[in-house]
């Protein structure tokens, strides 16, 4: 049986509060980053999750090691407390976010290039039309 887990880490990164959603499915980690702005209250985070989770853009999946451990309530509480005290996100998550940023950068470059080419073509056609009109008059 394949296991899936999700985790949200909220931390302060000057000057905003950032939320990083980590999702592990079939041994693959994908992440999504959200900027909250002001420090969000617990109920605001829950409301955000309910309202916007389905529209989050998760990064491409990165291989990760999933530890299969038995669930001990007190241990889970200690781990959760430790994670709350830690700031930032894991290195695998950072890699996945970096991958997503690179992907977005490539898409932006591609769109920009297409816009420039379309503008060049439009200007060329305009010049050609003016030349034709000029030669028609003679």
**CB-count burial class (<10 Å; 0-12, 13-18, 19+) for 31:** buried
pLDDT over 90, % of the chain: 16
Residues 6+ apart with CB under 8 A from 68: 3
Radius of gyration of the chain (CA): 24
pLDDT score of 121: 95
Mean pLDDT of 73-83: 80
- The answer on pLDDT for 88 being more than 60 is no
Residues 6+ apart with CB under 8 A from 126: none
User: pTM surpassing 0.85?
Assistant: no
């Amino acid at each position: 049986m394949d296991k899936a887990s999700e985790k949200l880490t909220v931390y302060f990164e000057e000057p905003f509060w950032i939320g990083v959603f980590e999702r592990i499915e079939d041994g693959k980690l994908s992440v999504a980053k959200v900027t909250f702005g002001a420090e969000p209250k617990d109920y605001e985070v829950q409301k955000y999750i309910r309202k916007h989770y389905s529209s989050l853009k998760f990064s491409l999946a990165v291989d990760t090691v999933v530890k299969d451990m038995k669930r001990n309530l007190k241990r889970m509480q200690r781990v959760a407390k430790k994670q709350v005290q830690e700031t930032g996100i894991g290195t695998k998550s950072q890699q996945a976010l970096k991958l997503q940023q690179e992907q977005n950068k490539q898409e932006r470059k591609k769109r920009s290039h297409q816009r420039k080419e379309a503008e060049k073509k439009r200007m060329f056609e305009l010049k050609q039309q003016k030349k034709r009109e000029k030669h028609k008059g003679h």
